[in-house]
Structure 1
Amino acid sequence: KEPGEYKDFHYEPNVQQYQNGSLGFTHISKDSEGQYLCEAKNNIGTGVSKVIFLRVNAPAHFVQKSKQVQVVKGEQAHLQCAANGDTPMQISWKIGGQHILKEGRSTLALAIVFLTRAF
């Protein structure tokens, strides 16, 4: 959210407002991230308000858990690693414990020269 943009609190099953005015979140997601404006007022004097920025940290996770790619010997294969999460994120490729690409690339194109094991 941009500065000055606040989230209006509406009833949501994963958000609870307690008697003391605080909010409780269960099963929080990146959609909940943003600036929240809390306002308090009574019949004595003017009301007060406070802005609280809620940041939701998301660990790296794969969009697609597992995938098997089949290719004909001599053809090209494209292996894609789609991961979501907070940045900066580092993606690396290994085969047999050895790095095969520079960090940061998430797509690998291979020319299949020989196969040692077929699935």
Structure 2
Amino acid sequence: MRRFLLPLAALLLTGCASQGQIDPHGYRDEGQASWYGAQHQGKPTASGERFDQNALTAAHRQLPFGTRVRVTHLGNGRQVTVRINDRGPFAKGRIIDLSRRAAEQLGMLRQGVAPVRIEALDD
């Protein structure tokens, strides 16, 4: 039974990751950010590249892969620019998952979750 369920689950997750993309032009949102790091180091992201906790990358549910986003920590004003290369976050109420390095630059490592504004950048 597991032999059939695992491929089905992978197919469903892949389909969900590619559906519902939005136009990044002018995109702006506010909400909670979280971060992920060592436990995912080297594992494939939804875009197919390997996760690097030391890169300035992030996961977003709908923005296209490669979109550059400015993230502003609303509590301290610090900013970082990241590239979307994964899907998530999967925790309710969060709008973006940042790499460890991005979270460190925003000063949110200890908190784990922080209020942010995200704005897609036009290249």
Whether TM exceeds 0.5 here: the answer is: no
TM-score (normalised: structure 2): 0.23
